Every structure is written in C-alpha cells, then in structure tokens.
Structure 1
Amino acid sequence: MSRLILHSSSSPSSSSRFFINSNISNSNKFLLSVSRISGLGINEFLRYEIFCRYNNTLNTRISSQRELAKSIGGDKVYQQLLNDINASLLSPPEDPAEGIIVDPVEVPYPKRSLEALFGRKRIGWVSLPKWLDKAILDILKGHEKDVIRSDAGRIYQSFRSITGFREENIHNDPIFGPCKTAAKTFKRQQYEFNENDIKPHLLEYGNRETLAYLAGYLPITYGPIYNVLYEISTRLPDFEPKSVMDFGTGPGTAIWASHKVWGQRIESYLGIDISESMLRMAETLLSNMSHENRIQNCYFRRYITYDSRQTRHNLVISAFSLAELPNENTQEAILESLWNRTEDILVLIEKGTPAGFKIINDARNKILKNAKKWQIPSSSLSSDRDLKKNNNYDQKALIMDNILSSKAGAHVVAPCPHDGPCPLENSRNWCHFSQRINRPSFFMQTKAVRKENHEDSKYSYVVLRRGPRPEIVNESKPTEKFEKILEEKSIDTDLVKEFINEAFQWPRLIVPPMKRSGHVVMDGCSKSGYIERIVIPKSLGKLAYRDARKAMWGDLFPHKPKKPPERRITKEKKDMKYEKKKMTKSIIEEKEKGDDWKEGIPSLRIRNQPSKKNKQNKQNKQNKQNKQNKQNKQNKQNKQNKQKKSKSNSKQSKPGFLKMVKLG
C-alpha cells in the first residue's frame, strides 16, 4: 500500500488535491479509494463505499451505482481526476516518480542506526535448504526409526563425553564473582558421568552412524556454520572466496552452507573426512542437487597431504572437528596444516561448552603466536631457478606463495575486537553464542519431539585472517556485492563503507543486555582486551538508546557510553589488591621500582596513609578504653563481693533470733 498526492489539472483550488491509497490486485487492476476529499460527488462516492461495505448484495449494489452515477455526473473535479488517472495508467511516463509527491508522513523513521544494522549478528531461524531436506528424507526412507534413534543416542553420548564439563572448571570467578550454584551443577554433572560410566571416547563412523548423524545431528551443526559464514559475507563484503576447503566435512555440512551464502561465485570445493561412509553420503547428497544449482567442482578426500606446495584456498573451515582429535599434539599439527593451506580466512567452530571454548581459545592463541613461524620458508618460495628445475611446481602456486609472504601475521575478524589474550580464559563463563534452528521432520522423529519445532544450538568460534589488523580508513570503494548487501539491509552505501574498518574496534556483547528503566547495561569484550560494562542511559539520545534496547547477544555495539565504561575486575587486579593489604610501604616501593613488575597493572600506592598524630590519638583512645574496662570489671567484682557478705550475715542472724524467742 502506497500513499500518494495527486494534483488535478482542472483547477488550482484546494479541491483539486486528493490523497489516494492505491493497491494492485491479482488481476493487475488499480483499486482506488479516496480517503480525504472535498466536493459533492466525491462525498456521495464515500457514502456508496460505506454502504456497499455493510449491504454487500447485488440488488443494493446496482441501485446504489445508479444513484452514484447521477450524483457525480455534474462534479467536474471528480471527472477530471478520473481522466488524469486513466491518462497516467495508459501512458506511463519514463520516470515513475514524475508528477508524484510522496507523503512525508509515510516515510519510515529509522528504528536503528546504520552502525547498529551493520554490526547486527542475529539472522533469525536457520532452516536447511529445501533440496537438502528432501534428499535426507529420501535417504532415510526404508530404515528403521528405532535403530536410527538408538544410534543417534550413542553419538550424543560420545559428543557429551568429549565436550562436556570437566573438573577443571573454576567456581570462584575472578571476573563475575563467586558462583553459588556452579559447584552443585558441576558435581551433579560429574555424578551423572560416574554413574553412567561415560568416559571420553570417539566413534568410528560406519553406515549406521552416518545415517544417525544425518538424521539427528546435521541441523545442529548447519545453523552455526551458516551464521558465521553469513557474518563474514556482511562484515567483509569484498571477500568472495573462489575455493573452499572443509576439514572434517562429514556429510558436507559446511560445503552446503557456504554454497548457500556465496552461490556460484565459489569455483571449487574440497571436503576432507577420514570416514569413507561420510564421504559417500556427501557424494549422494551432491547428486540430489538440482541441475541448475548443482556444484560443479566438488572433490572429497580422506587425508590431508603434508606437501607445502599444495594449492591453497581462500576459505578454510574446520567445524566441530578439532574436539575429535586424540591429543593436543595432533591438534597443533592439524592447525599448522590448515593455516598453511589458508590463503585468506580460516574459520574454526566448536560446541558452545567450556571444553569447546578451550579448544577454540588455544587454537586462536597458537595461530596468533606462530603465524609468522608457520609460513612457508623462503627457500621453497620465490625462485625462478626452482621453477625451471622442478616441472611439477605450478606457477600459480609460486605466485600464491609470494602473496602469502606479503601477508605476514594474522588478526581476528570475529568475534574478538582485539588480538590479545582472551579475558575469559580463567573465568567460569566462556565465550559462546547461540543460533536458533528449525527442526526438520526427520530431526524431530529422531529426537522423539512433537511440540517444539525449534532448538538453540550453542557454539564457540573464531575467524582468523592473514595480515595485520586493519586501521580506520575513510577512503574505500564499495563493490557490487557490498551494494547488494546494503540494499538488502536498506543501508546507504556512502555511509556504511566507513563502517568496515571501524567495526573491528566495536565491543562485542558476550551476554544478553540487561534492560532497566531508563538505561541499558551491557557487558562486552572491548578493543582494550578487557570485559567492560557499558551503560547507555536514555539521556544519551533516542537513536543510541533505541539501539541499546534492540541490541542482542553477539552484536557489535557502535555507540560510546556517556560515562567511561567500568572495567570488570580481572585475576591480576584481584591478586594486586590482595598483595596491597599484606605488603608494607617499603615492599610496595621496591615493587614499583623493580623491572619485573607486570606491565599494564597500575602502580600500587597506599592512599590516605594515617599520620603520626592520628596513630597516637588512636593509641590514647585505646588505652582509655582499656582502663575503663578494667575499672568496670573491678566495680562489678566489688558489688558481687558485697552481696555475698550481706547474704552470709543474714543467714547467721536468723538462728540466734529463734533461740532468744524460745528462751523468753
């Protein structure tokens, strides 16, 4: 429905201005209803419209039409209006906006700022593509549901044993304070593990396990993968991968998600998984794609080759796979191999549990620390002699190696706004996010669920990119992909092209915002590397306050607070306060002068030190109180002694008195 103002050419009077609401019906005819008009014939038209609304019969309609034709026949303004409308419909102008003035009342007021729309992470429910849902249903036909359900239970049990709770969890959190219920929950979880004898174990995926994974676990992994890849496409609109590598692909989950995000712009896919049945299932799903949208160059392998001269990929994904590796040494070797095959971006995703977050955090620290060490040595790179000697070495690979050598180091694209250590390392809380997924029919049957058709899949992730962290630069040219994304989000390209680099410094909300009366409290991971509490009051402005009220868990918040943010206490600061109470003034001065004192911690100083006079006054007061206490004790003892003596005297006098009475 669009509201327009049309000017009639008959007379310039106020009666020639009409507000018309136009709507196009299924038969492509314009149904016009006048909402604000003047003139006798137009008023009769309104009466006819209201009359037909309540007396909608054929006889009444025909009779009222005749009366309407007689009444409006003499209204020249109405006739001229109809002629103008017919002329505009029969011969539309080249510019559709010509002669039409949009009513400013109908222009939508922006509910959120452009920065908040750009930093938004929430994408709503995620559903499987229709072709994938249909293909899985066709594959599961003819198999017993009870067997699939029991096999899916074994898979859930295996994942629970790998990424469940551990005894290493800290109940006294240095950031969020002590948790009264955490110890009980962890004890209950450990008791369940001990009772059921669930020990960390892995499953070998055969045909039965592959079917159970397809029916009971694929939607849980598809939602987070799609969310992360969609965030990359919006945060980095210039990034369009040509080749994608999926480590631990399983039935090709990350391949289908990346194809949905970037479509046919991806030229080749490579899926790696050690299970042959999983690879066969991925090939079966690939064959069920329609011919129009079918992926052309998609290959599957069982192992990663350790040849440093192998071709590299623009996007490398490892989703829910590192936790299944046997030990940390294997994880580090796989990480090094994945990073060496990454030309631009590496995506790591694990379950949103403390164990999954620990795996992601360790991988993040290792890559940021060893990004330069893990680069290909210069001896195997730029060399025309080697190119002439070794015919197997491709020229494209040589060019790619030279590009990688220019991109030294690495930085975090998401979720962290910094490249330092994670402030939640020693906390009972862990960095994780949630994505709501739509449960397909086969998934609900496997889980024996009837009512709820949705589920929240929690995950931890990190997106790493080669090269240094970008700085704020105002000059940037938007691409066609960027403009398309901004059109979908209804954002102006000229304003938002500056947000790409600025968003690398916006704080990330790690917990849902706390909405209070007149203000919003948010805890976010800031660019300084600390967890900071941001308070956005209503007095800061309508737009900032509205953005704070609409902000959600995982969003990037662009507005600066009215007051400086409150930094949540860390373990180092807590230890510092504990030492400050114990150490004397001389020890504190030595610590401040020493070079081994930790950087980043403010100098320890004793504030409001008591003077000598104050100390003497305190001692005198204490002495007076002690003397008074002693005197009070002595007085009490004297009173008690007097009372005892008086009682003893009275007892001795009574027998003598009785004797005297008898004698008398």
Structure 2
Amino acid sequence: MNATLPSAEVLRATLAGLLDGLPPKQAAQAVERLIANYRGTTPTDAPVLRDRSDVAAYAAYRMPATFEAVRSALDALREAAPDWAPVTHTDVGGGTGAASWAVAGAWEGEEPRTTVLDWAEPALALGRELAELSGIPALRAAEWRRARIGAGLELAPTDLITVSYVLNELTADVRGALVDTAAAAAQAVVVVEPGTPDGYARIIEARDRLIAAGLTVAAPCPHSAACPIEPGTDWCHFSARVSRSSLHRRVKGGSLPYEDEKFSYVVATRFGTQPVVARVTRKPQIRKGQVLLDLCTRDEALRRATVTKRHGELYRAARDVAWGDEWPPPGEDG
C-alpha cells in the first residue's frame, strides 16, 4: 500500500487486509466481551486483550473510533500551539496503535519517533503488523515495547504522551500514579476517555493532577481553573464521526455507514499555548433565523449564545460551526 500519512481510509484498508478471514462468530463473541468491559466500571489489573482473536476483534471494533477521537484532541492541541510539533511520542497503553496512527498524521511534514507501550503482547504484535502493512514510514519505524501499565511504570522524557481509553482499566490509585508519571515525563499530555459520565470524571481527575504537576490546560477548556460543571449534573464530552467499513459493520452488527464516537479529553502542556476564547460544548441548535450555541468560556462560565441573522457574518459562521469547535471563529468578533 502506498501511503505517506495515516488517514481513516488507510487505517480501514489496512485493517480489512489483515483481518480478512477472521471467523465472524468468533469476532462477534470477542466484541461482545470487549464491549462489556468498555462500558463497565470494574477496573482490572490484567490485560483486557488476551489473545490474537481478542486483539483482532478489538482492532475492528475500536481502532477507527479511537483514531478519530485522538485525532480530534490532537487537532485542538495544534490549534492551541500552532508553532509546536513533537519530535518524540510515547503511546501509553497504546495496544494496537490507534493513537500512534493519529499522531503520525497530525503534524504535516513532521514524523515523531513513537514508542508504543502496552502490557498485552498480542496487541503489540498485531500493532506491528498493521504498522508494517500501512507502508507509512513513521509507523513502520515505531518501537513496540511490552510494559506493565501501572503505578511502577517508568517513562523516559518525551515531547508528547498519549493515554487513550486506558484509565478505565485501572484502579483509582494506579490512575493517579500513571497521570503523575506522564506529567513528569512529557511536554504535552493528551488523555482521552469514553464520553460517558464516568469517562468525564476520570478526565477531570486527570486534569486536576496535570494542573497540580505544573501543566496548563490547552484544550478543550478555555482556562485552567476549575471545571464550571457541577458534579453529577452534566458531563463534558464531544463527538467524532467515524466511517464504517463493511468489516466494521459486520463485526459491530450495525447497518449505517458511520457512527458517532462520543469522547471526553484533556490536553495539557508545559509550554505556552493559546486556548480558545470559548468552545462549543453541545451540538448547535439551528432554528429559523437563529443558532443556539452552548459554550464554555474563558471567564470560567457556561453560557448559551443566541446568534441571529442580524449578526450578519457571525450568523453565517454559527450555521457552520460544529460541536467541539472554538467560538467565535478566528477573525470573527463575538
């Protein structure tokens, strides 16, 4: 396959080539167990992915969605720090490498040296295979290393650390130790979790620890002060559109050509960034002659903005703005 940068299309094609021939019944059974774990609240001290069939099912079930969620978080980092690019990257609990695929394509002209750490050797093995099949130099050059993802994990200094869909597998004390270790090792830390109330709670916990370690929030929040959401009343999450391949639809039992991945995330850095003035925290409501935007703002408040036709260009911009975007758009007055 000829490719220079990762994309959702390259990932789907690579997955299809590697997983073609996986018995559908076996895949479906493995997916059911993985979904139960993904949605559950019981942490474990053992790898979730036990063998190649588990890993293959996981790759088909989760890699495209994880890729899109992490890519969205990385887009927010690039917007907040347009002049920064990582030279080195560590993917903690990276499994088959979805986050590493996203990092490899996030900075045009840059190919960070990636190290993927995971405690499941079958996941690392399949990740290596996918990287090799991709034909993408940055992925093929990645180092895939077995490591226990826990309180005793040692991380070498690096520019960027990603921790995606990992914290839900860990106990609270181990989660805290892992985030502290990442904060001490990296210039930028990106943490992504499911867009559920529990996932958001883990992100807030990680956010607090990153700030306590001396980092500042670059995204999605416009500030590093306390989250204005009252605990238990709501949760901050976003959505990424994921195109499904026929294989993906078959394994997940879906019929639509796409799905929407809900996720929560935080990006924190040790270098200066330019956080947004405000971010759209829900899907915009487009009504006749007006657009309603739910915003998290730099003054630490949640508010709803009503943009009407009398706002001219700003109204036209509001009709095009998406959930998770900054507001107002660059060059527009609020």
Aligned with residue 448 of structure 1, among 240, 253, 261: 253
Matching of residues 485-500 of structure 1 within 5 Å: none
What are the superposed Cα offsets for residues 245-301 of structure 1, whole Å, 9 maximum, x if unpaired? Answer: 001101011111111223662341111111111111111222223276663353423
Structure 2: how far apart are the matches of 1:334 and 1:555?
Answer: 29
1:526 matched to 2:297? The reply is yes
1:417 aligned residue: 222
Structure 2: how far apart are the matches of 1:137 and 1:157?
Answer: 24
Cα 1:294–1:462 change in 2 (3 A) is closer
1:128 matched to 2:13? The reply is no
- Kindly state the Cα deviation for residue 230 of structure 1 after the two structures are TM-superposed: 2.7
| Amino acid in the other structure paired with 1:149 | A
Alpha carbons 1:508, 1:526 under 8 Å: kept: yes
Alpha carbons 2:34, 2:58 under 8 Å: kept: yes
- Kindly state the Cα deviation for residue 215 of structure 1 after the two structures are TM-superposed: 2.0
Cα 1:140–1:538 change in 2 (3 A) is closer
Matching of residues 431-580 of structure 1 within 5 Å: 431-449=236-254, 451-467=255-271, 501=274, 504-540=275-311, 542-558=312-328
Alpha carbons 1:276, 1:302 under 8 Å: kept: no
Cα 1:456–1:267 change in 2 (3 A) is closer
| Amino acid in the other structure paired with 1:465 | T
| Amino acid in the other structure paired with 2:313 | L
Q: What secondary structure, in the 3-state scheme, does the structure 1 residue paired with 2:322 have?
A: coil
Structure 2: how far apart are the matches of 1:289 and 1:436?
Answer: 22
Runs of 5+ consecutive residues of structure 2 not aligned to the other structure: 1-5
Q: What secondary structure, in the 3-state scheme, does the structure 2 residue paired with 1:249 have?
A: coil
Runs of 5+ consecutive residues of structure 1 not aligned to the other structure: 1-125, 163-198, 372-408, 471-500, 562-664
Structure 2: how far apart are the matches of 1:139 and 1:350?
Answer: 27
Aligned with residue 203 of structure 2, among 360, 363, 367: 360
What are the superposed Cα offsets for residues 63-114 of structure 1, whole Å, 9 maximum, x if unpaired? Answer: xxxxxxxxxxxxxxxxxxxxxxxxxxxxxxxxxxxxxxxxxxxxxxxxxxxx
- Kindly state the Cα deviation for residue 411 of structure 1 after the two structures are TM-superposed: 1.2
What are the superposed Cα offsets for residues 480-522 of structure 1, whole Å, 9 maximum, x if unpaired? Answer: xxxxxxxxxxxxxxxxxxxxx4xx2511111122334443332
Cα 1:290–1:367 change in 2 (3 A) is closer
The normalised TM-score by structure 1 is: 0.46
Question: Which structure carries more helix by proportion?
Answer: 1
The normalised TM-score by structure 2 is: 0.88
What are the superposed Cα offsets for residues 44-77 of structure 1, whole Å, 9 maximum, x if unpaired? Answer: xxxxxxxxxxxxxxxxxxxxxxxxxxxxxxxxxx
Matching of residues 272-283 of structure 1 within 5 Å: 272-283=117-128
1:323 aligned residue: 168
Q: Percent identity?
A: 28
Structure 2: how far apart are the matches of 1:362 and 1:293?
Answer: 32
1:334 matched to 2:178? The reply is yes
Matching of residues 240-251 of structure 1 within 5 Å: 240-251=85-96
Q: What secondary structure, in the 3-state scheme, does the structure 1 residue paired with 2:100 have?
A: helix
What are the superposed Cα offsets for residues 195-225 of structure 1, whole Å, 9 maximum, x if unpaired? Answer: xxxx776735222211210122221211111
Q: What secondary structure, in the 3-state scheme, does the structure 1 residue paired with 2:140 have?
A: coil
What are the superposed Cα offsets for residues 307-366 of structure 1, whole Å, 9 maximum, x if unpaired? Answer: 97x6311111000001111x2111111111111110x21000000000000000111012
Q: What secondary structure, in the 3-state scheme, does the structure 2 residue paired with 1:228 have?
A: helix
| Amino acid in the other structure paired with 1:140 | L
Structure 1: how far apart are the matches of 2:139 and 2:39?
Answer: 35
Structure 2: how far apart are the matches of 1:448 and 1:516?
Answer: 34
Alpha carbons 1:127, 1:437 under 8 Å: kept: no
Question: Which structure carries more strand by proportion?
Answer: 2
Q: How much is the aligned-residue C-alpha RMSD, in angstroms? A: 2.5
| Amino acid in the other structure paired with 2:219 | A
Alpha carbons 2:113, 2:138 under 8 Å: kept: no
Q: What secondary structure, in the 3-state scheme, does the structure 2 residue paired with 1:265 have?
A: coil
Structure 1: how far apart are the matches of 2:207 and 2:137?
Answer: 39
Cα 1:335–1:281 change in 2 (3 A) is same
Q: What secondary structure, in the 3-state scheme, does the structure 1 residue paired with 2:107 have?
A: helix
In our comparison, the structure showing a higher alpha carbon Rg is 1
Higher relative contact order (CA 8 A, sep 6+): 2
